[in-house]
Amino acid sequence: MRIISGSKKGHIIRPPRNLPIRPTTDISKEGIFNIINNYFDFEECSVLDLFHGGGSMSLEFCSRGVKSLQSVDKHPGCVKFLSSEAEKLGFDQIEIFRQDVLQFLRNSDDSFDLIFCDPPYAWTQYAEMLDIILKREMLATGGWCIIEHHSVMKAYENHPKRVDMRAYGQNIMSIFSNNQA
C-alpha cells in the first residue's frame, strides 16, 4: 500500500502481517479519490473513516490536507499502527478511536463532509450502520457516505439515498447522501 497523492505522495504503508485487514486496492483508492476530488475541497473537509484497518484511507485523506479526520477501528493492533504512522508523518489533524463502529456512531454528535466505511465483507450490519449515519444526520449538507463492499452484496442497489456506485473489480463503492448541496 502507498499514499497516492498529496504532501506524502509515494509513502509506503507497511502494516504488520498479523493485522486482520483487507486493504483498499490502489486502483479502488485512486478511482474513488478522483471522484471525491471533483466535488470536495479537501482543506475544508471533515472526514470519518470507519473500520480504518491498516489506515490507508485515513493516511490518504490526511496527505491530501483534510481539515480534520476521525478514524475508528476496534482492533488494538490497527489502532496502534495507524497512530504510529500518523505521528511519523506529522498528521496532527487525525483523531484515532479504538472502539466498536456502531457504538461510536451511536455516541458521536459530530457531522462530517465525508464518511468512508470499509467493513469486513462478512460483517452483517451494513444496513444498520448506514441507517444510523443517515438517521442521526451525521452527514453535513451535501456530504457523502462511501461504503466499500463486495459485488455480491446487492442490498444497496435500490437504496433511495444512493447517489452513485462505482465498481473496481469485485470492490464496489456505493455513495450515499442525505441531501444535495
Task: Delineate the domains of the chain, giving CATH numbers in brackets.
Answer: 1-7+25-104 (3.40.50.150)
β-bridge mates for residue 171, sequence order:
150, 168
Cell numbers 497512530 label which residue? 83
Residue 181 is predicted with a pLDDT of 46
Which pTM value belongs to this model?
A: 0.94
Q: What is the pLDDT along the chain (181 residues), one digit of tens a residue?
A: 899 999 999 999 998 788 878 777 778 899 999 999 999 999 999 999 999 999 999 999 999 999 999 999 999 999 999 999 999 999 999 999 999 999 999 999 999 999 999 998 788 898 999 999 999 999 999 999 999 988 887 767 788 999 999 998 888 899 999 865 4
Residue 138 is predicted with a pLDDT of 97
b (16+ CB within 10 A) / e for 34-44:
eebeeebebee
Cell numbers that stand for 52 in this block:
480504518
Residue 179 is predicted with a pLDDT of 67
Residue 155 is predicted with a pLDDT of 67
Residue 17 is predicted with a pLDDT of 83
Residue 104 is predicted with a pLDDT of 98
Alpha helices in the chain (DSSP H): 26-39, 56-63, 76-89, 101-107, 126-135
